[in-house]
Amino acid sequence: MNKVFIVARWEYLEKIKSKTFLISLFVTPIIMVTMGILPSIFVTQEDDETKIIGVIDVSGELAGPLTKHLEKEYKLPDGQPNYIVETIPVGKDRNIDRAIEEADAKVLNDKIEGYCIIDFNPPEDTVIEYRSKKVGDFRITYRIQESLQRILSEKKLASMGLDPSVLRELRTPINVQSVRLSTSGEKEDAGFIRVFFSAYIFLMMLFFLIVTSCQLLVRSVIEEKSNRIVEVLISSCSPTELMAGKVFGLSGLGFTQLGLWTLVGLVISFGFGIDLVSFGHALLLIIYFVLGYLFYAAIFIGFGSPVTTEQEAQQVTTYLVLILILPLTLVLPALQNPGAGWIKVLTYIPLLTPTMMALRIPIQTPSAWEIIATILLMLISIYFAMVAAGRIFRIAILATGKRPSLGEIIAWARTG
């Protein structure tokens, strides 16, 4: 036991100082945050100053109502109108070319944000043009579209002799709120986005932790093999102690990383008021996380320890990453139908158990016996995977030269 600790401490302290680890520690969350959260922040970011929108209205009938509508409906946080509309006059000959020229100049000189050309004939021709330096601003185009839709509908109703307020009634929005039922009878709000993110973040963390740890492990095995340090190690402690030490050291490393990320995650979720998972769920998720980590770690040791060169290490890592990607591809279908029979079946494949449970728990917590059964299943799988990995490790760390075939590795794993 003591020697396991010495190996674990060495692996931990040595790796925590390595560049690979530090990079993955800081870069990974940055990538995750950038990919997952920033776009939604930018999309929902409100304008903070009034924008001037130009309108070239050929009919001369829509500019007025559009101006009124936009100014009335959309306000800045400080109560000022979000948009002010500037009408760009069209000559009596109805030639819009000059007006366009003038508007273009204004846009390019930043006098106006952009302008739209209302030159259409609904219901046959329904396209209007919005020109701006920033064509990616979906919000403006959407709002102009909305406003014109309303204006045209009201006009139509008026021409049919109906009160435009009918329209308001008709357009009262209906929201569907999904409420999650659990056996205890409590009702809970379960936003799809929220569940999706909690499961996705779980998987991404598992993915990155395992990949980083695996690379560190394989690299350290390669170094020890290539300079024969491993012989001194194996004459100092048993292969089982050595492997256990490595697993604990690298797990410690993984969980250090996880702890730091969780902290960052908590700060972010408090900062932005995103409530990802409840405490009870978090506990279960952590259990499955640890189980998943250990199971994958055993697989990685088994297939990583026979490697003798960096090149082979890369190949092996690639294959193993593919095993990890498989659960990621199942996230969406599983989320859409967490109760489906095939999802339940997949839950009992040890490679997928942690993922599937991570997906199912926030949506529709599986029954207690399912949780117990899967945890037991994982524990048994980890035991056998570790035993097999230990057998492979024993032989593989002394083997140099030609890489053993898959058949040989399996044979090592079977015969203790």
Partner 1 sequence: MLKASNLRKVFTTVRAVDGVSFEIQRGEILGLLGPNGAGKTTCIRIILDILPPDEGVVTYDGRKFSERTRNIVGYLPEERGLYRKNKLLDTILYFAELRGMQRGVAKAEAYRWLQRFNLLSYKDNKVEELSKGNQQKVQFIVSVIHDPTLVVLDEPFAGLDPVNQILLKDILLDLKQQGKAVLFSTHQMDQAERLSDTLCLINRGKVVLEGTVREVKKRYGKNAVHLEYEGDGSFMRSLPGVRRTIIYGNSAELELDDGVQTQALLLILAARLEIRKFELVEPSLQSIFIQLVTAGKDEGTVKRVEVA
- Scored b (16 or more CB within 10 A) or e, 372-407 reads eebbebbeebbeebbebbbbbbbbbbebeeebbeee
Contact region for partner 1 (CB under 8 A) — 200-208, 230-238, 247-255, 298-306? 230-238
- Closest to partner 1 by CB, 143 vs 394, is 394
The least distance separating partner 1 from the CB of residue 9, rounded to whole angstroms, comes to 9
Site for partner 1 in 1-40 (CB under 8 A): 2-3, 6-7, 10, 14, 18
336 near partner 1, judged by CB under 8 A:
no
Per-residue string for binding with partner 1, 390-409, x by CB under 8 A?
Answer: --------x-----------
229 near partner 1, judged by CB under 8 A:
yes
- The number of residues making up the chain comes to 416
Burial of 65 (0-12, 13-18, 19+ CB in 10 A): middle
- Closest to partner 1 by CB, 55 vs 230, is 230
Contact region for partner 1 (CB under 8 A) — 124-132, 179-187, 209-217, 221-229? 221-229
The closest alpha carbon to 217, from 271, 166, 293, 273, belongs to 293
Annotate 100-140 with DSSP letters as a single string: HHHHHHHHHTTSSSEEEEE--BTTTB---EEEES-TT-HHH
At 111, list the tokens.
Answer: 């006098």
- Closest to partner 1 by CB, 10 vs 130, is 10
Task: Rule CB under 8 A: choose which of 109, 159, 235, 329 binds partner 1.
Answer: 235
Task: Rule CB under 8 A: choose which of 126, 228, 321, 380 binds partner 1.
Answer: 228
The closest alpha carbon to 158, from 59, 61, 57, belongs to 61
Q: In whole angstroms, what is the distance from residue 58 CA to residue 62 CA?
A: 9
- Closest to partner 1 by CB, 14 vs 102, is 14
Q: Assign 64 to helix, strand or coil.
A: helix
The least distance separating partner 1 from the CB of residue 203, rounded to whole angstroms, comes to 32
- Closest to partner 1 by CB, 111 vs 228, is 228
The least distance separating partner 1 from the CB of residue 232, rounded to whole angstroms, comes to 6
The least distance separating partner 1 from the CB of residue 305, rounded to whole angstroms, comes to 15
The closest alpha carbon to 20, from 192, 207, 220, 265, belongs to 220
Sign of CA dihedral 129, 132, 136, 141: negative
Task: Rule CB under 8 A: choose which of 163, 188, 189, 223 binds partner 1.
Answer: 223
CA angle 308, 313, 316 (to 5 degrees): 120
The least distance separating partner 1 from the CB of residue 185, rounded to whole angstroms, comes to 57
- Closest to partner 1 by CB, 229 vs 325, is 229
Which element (helix H / strand E) includes 86? Answer: strand 83-87
* AA identity, residue 157: L
234 near partner 1, judged by CB under 8 A:
yes
236 near partner 1, judged by CB under 8 A:
yes
415 near partner 1, judged by CB under 8 A:
no
The least distance separating partner 1 from the CB of residue 246, rounded to whole angstroms, comes to 13
Residue linked to tokens 């609904």: 122
120 near partner 1, judged by CB under 8 A:
no
At 28, list the tokens.
Answer: 């990974």
How many chain residues interact with partner 1 (CB under 8 A)? 21
- Closest to partner 1 by CB, 108 vs 398, is 398
227 near partner 1, judged by CB under 8 A:
yes
Q: Using an 8 Å Cβ cutoff, are 197 and 36 in contact?
A: yes
Q: In whole angstroms, what is the distance from residue 187 CA to residue 362 CA?
A: 13
- Closest to partner 1 by CB, 79 vs 401, is 401
- Closest to partner 1 by CB, 227 vs 337, is 227
* AA identity, residue 133: K
Give whole-number Cα distances, 221 to 301, 304, 309, 311, 414, in Å: 9, 8, 10, 14, 22
The least distance separating partner 1 from the CB of residue 7, rounded to whole angstroms, comes to 7
The least distance separating partner 1 from the CB of residue 398, rounded to whole angstroms, comes to 7
Q: Which residues bind partner 1 (CB under 8 A)?
A: 2-3, 6-7, 10, 14, 18, 223, 226-229, 231-238, 398
